[in-house]
Amino acid sequence: MDLVFIEDLRIETIIGIYDWERTTRQVVALDIEMAFDNSRPAASDRIADTLDYKAVSKRLIAFVGESRFELVETLAERCAAIIRDEFGVPWLRLKLSKPGAVTGSRAVGVVIERGTRA
């Protein structure tokens, strides 16, 4: 199985458990690997045959930008569900980072894998 990836997709959102986090937009960064058989689009050279990473990115930007979750775990699960359900992705690995959330670190967050990788 091939992989289509989106790296360092940065989106502003409301995320966090502290009072100040509920009123201040923060950046989250997503790194996503998605299983997809690229042989068909490679043969046809047609965007319609691909896993359109621009469409995936636009959908996540809209969703995350409007979300108001407390936990990065919840946001990561919802993003993974969107990718799998709406784009037919059988397996994905999603890393959701919250840059600057912990003093002294570049970022904190979660990495999840969902589905079956053929």
The set of residues, in sequence order, having a beta carbon less than 8 Å from that of 103 and lying 6+ positions away, is none
Task: Judge whether 54 counts as a catalytic residue.
Answer: no
In the set 54, 58, 95, 98, the catalytic residue is 98
- pLDDT computed for residue 118 by the predictor: 72
- Give the pLDDT of the chain (118 residues) as one tens digit per residue: 899 999 999 999 999 999 999 999 999 999 999 999 999 999 999 999 999 999 999 999 999 999 999 999 999 999 999 999 999 999 999 999 999 888 999 999 999 999 998 7
Q: What angle do CA 113, 116, 118 make, to 5 degrees?
A: 125
